[in-house]
Amino acid sequence: MKITDQIIKSHGLKTQEFNDIKSLLKREPNFLELGIFSAMWNEHCSYKSSRTHLKRLYTKGKQVIQGPGENAGVIDIGDDDAIVFKIESHNHPSYIEPYQGAATGVGGILRDVFTMGARPIALLNSIHFGLPTHPKTKSLLNGVVSGIGGYGNCMGIPTVAGETKFDETYNENNLVNAMAVGLAKKNRIFYSKAKGINKSVVYVGSKTGRDGIHGASMASAEFDENTEDKKPTVQVGDPFTEKLLMEACLELMKDNSIISIQDMGAAGLTSSSVEMASKGSLGIELELEKVPCREENMTPYEMMLSESQERMLIILEDGKEKDAKKIFDKWDLDFMVIGRTTNTNNLTLKFNGKVEGEIPIEALASKAPIYDRKWIRKKVSKSKTDLKKLKKIKIENALIKILSSSNHSNKGWVTSQYDQTVMGDTVLKSGSDAAIIRIHNKEKAIAVSVDSSANYCKSHPVTGGKQVVCENWRNLISVGAKPLAITNCLNFGNPENEIIMGEFAECLEGIREACEFLSYPVVSGNVSFYNGTNKKNINPTPVIGGVGLINKLVKPLSHNLKKDKSVLILVGKSFGHLEQSCFLKENYSIASGMPPEINLLNEKNNGESVLKLIQNNLVLSCHDISSGGLIVALAEMAMSTNFGIKIQKPKKLTNLYEYFFSEDQSRYVLEVDPINLTKVEKILKDSNIYFENIGFTQKDLFEIEGELKINVKELFKINNEWYNKY
């Protein structure tokens, strides 16, 4: 087949990239080889626009066993235990085919975790949709939520936390980010690096079909009016087979059979074989007629580029093939030796004895393009909204408007579709600042949370990048966990646009700065570019997934109020920052100005002091202050129980909007038993932490002195109405 300009374009390659391929090969590629280059050189697999910036992230720490570069990150949690975790996007597939796109996103991230020898113990997600009024939103929402629940529930792995958000920026490009967390022994971690010559390359799992061909390339391009035509590029998942595959792999991992292992994710057999060979500085020769196929007359091109799910590639030690096959036969899965490692440093593809393709591994991996794309810094509007010019609104009405909105309404209708307690170790589930998972048969536990803040990142990317890390940090501390490490999923628009590339670079600058200051390293992640349709790009949306450790779990700490007549303490100073707040957006449709300032020193000191109080059992409940400000945090604490709250009027900030609705950072609300108040105040004073005693708990009523008085049950009803009306 003659390679034409149209064929090159249809494979997502630029003319210069095709010329580079010819230079590396010293000849023109054939159609199969072109497809392989297309898969490995696309944005999704090569990170060609992001690698320059990703290198700057803070990735080190004594707790880090494996940082970025493997299937997932690994951290040490003591007692020879390790947590393996990662978050990844499945945005484009989920927009094209919501159920299967979301389901296979869950399946893919689970494989990343158990590939490394960890049994998955928790799933999380961050999902973003367009405005509820947009004609596609309802079907996308229902399809995605069903897909996430359908796959995780069938696997028997609890989906314990997440976020669901709505904004017009996602009208034509929803985001579906899935995170998985697994438990392993730190001396039994498995890697993808190939070792040894003439070792068996084994295909295991499901058969290969024609689904998902060019899926990775599709994920590296913007949408247009022909989106529906891309449905064949979406993979089809089977959670029941994945469950079998997981158990078979974990069983095989009990002995010393495996040299390396890699799941067949994006770009399927191509990426798995190339990545293994590249990391090991080896070659791989595949006999493609041996690939188990579920469809007739599949070509080498289709086999190599299929993204059929529930498949693995394993390199085995000599003589281990027979015993390994017994395991996969027992679990009713395909097992086939389809190739060998070589000393050629080439990817050699044979079909019925004929060489169909031969490419130097380095041409597909280390010599893939790296672009240091031009970018420009964000020009920031520092204009401040004049509150005096706004139509006055009662505090109560403003609160009700926020609590009844799509973004702040109770998301129980989402989380009820997820099994949150299967496996029996979920201690604190969705609806809290973070979920808590007990380490089975031990006193310790981990806390997990995911967070994003696109409006902050859009208005000032550096500050937004800092904020989303700090928000995640606070969520873990609020349940009594010491934050250990994060994974990130970086969702952005077209990197060829200098403004968007600037948003990416500056967000990463903020993420790096916050992670380094807080000693909160990035250990894994994913970049998703080209999120947009017809040149309209999404707002920058970095998503942070964090893991923290609770050394001894006595009883879980949540934001649920615990008793009557407790003292409520505000930790952290309020400056009255309302720009980019949900108060202005929901009540006045204003979304301008700078986000609140991030003071990393205050963030660290306040967080560490709150954690100390929690660890000393001096706090009954805790909630960080984020979107909606102090009043929304207090309302959420009240709605979770039968207790109300009475708040005194502020002594310093005289503007009540600024006091109650500002989104100033580094702040927490603590519920403290009066008998412990002196101890708490002393610890905060000794640590030079700003705090205020702002009120106390009471029965039934949510009350602000002279301004608001409403029954907590009424607030709860308001907060739960949105989806029923939708």
Residues catalogued as catalytic: 44, 90
Number of Cβ within a 10 Å radius of residue 354:
9
Under 8 Å between Cβ of 708 and 399:
yes
Residues 6+ apart with CB under 8 A from 685: none
Structure tokens at 268: 């399927």
For residue 84, is it left (φ>0), alpha (ψ between -120 and 50) or beta? beta
DSSP-derived 3-state class of residue 662? coil
The burial class, CB within 10 Å (0-12 / 13-18 / 19+), for 492 is buried
Under 8 Å between Cβ of 74 and 432:
no
Residues 6+ apart with CB under 8 A from 280: 193, 194, 195, 260, 341
Give buried/exposed letters for 405-422 (b at 16+ CB in 10 A, else e): bbbbbbbeebbebbbbee
Number of Cβ within a 10 Å radius of residue 552:
10
Query: Closest by alpha carbon to 484, among 500, 494, 473?
Result: 473
Number of Cβ within a 10 Å radius of residue 185:
12
The burial class, CB within 10 Å (0-12 / 13-18 / 19+), for 516 is middle
Under 8 Å between Cβ of 84 and 78:
no
Q: What is the DSSP code (8-state) at residue 295?
A: S
Structure tokens at 105: 């996103």
DSSP line for 182-217 = EEEETT--------SSSPEEEEEESPB-STTTTHHH
Under 8 Å between Cβ of 60 and 329:
no
Q: Which amino acid is at 553?
A: L
Structure tokens at 448: 């997990």
DSSP-derived 3-state class of residue 454? helix
Query: What CA dihedral angle connects 671, 672, 673 and 674, to 10 degrees?
Result: -120
Structure tokens at 63: 């707790």
Number of Cβ within a 10 Å radius of residue 381:
12
* Phi, psi (degrees; rounded to nearest 5) at 591: -135, 60
d(CA 195, CA 218): 32
Query: Closest by alpha carbon to 61, among 485, 468, 463, 406?
Result: 485
DSSP strand pairing (522-528 vs 482-491): parallel
Under 8 Å between Cβ of 578 and 641:
no
Structure tokens at 406: 């799509």
Residues 6+ apart with CB under 8 A from 92: 101, 173, 218, 219, 223, 230, 531
Under 8 Å between Cβ of 45 and 218:
no
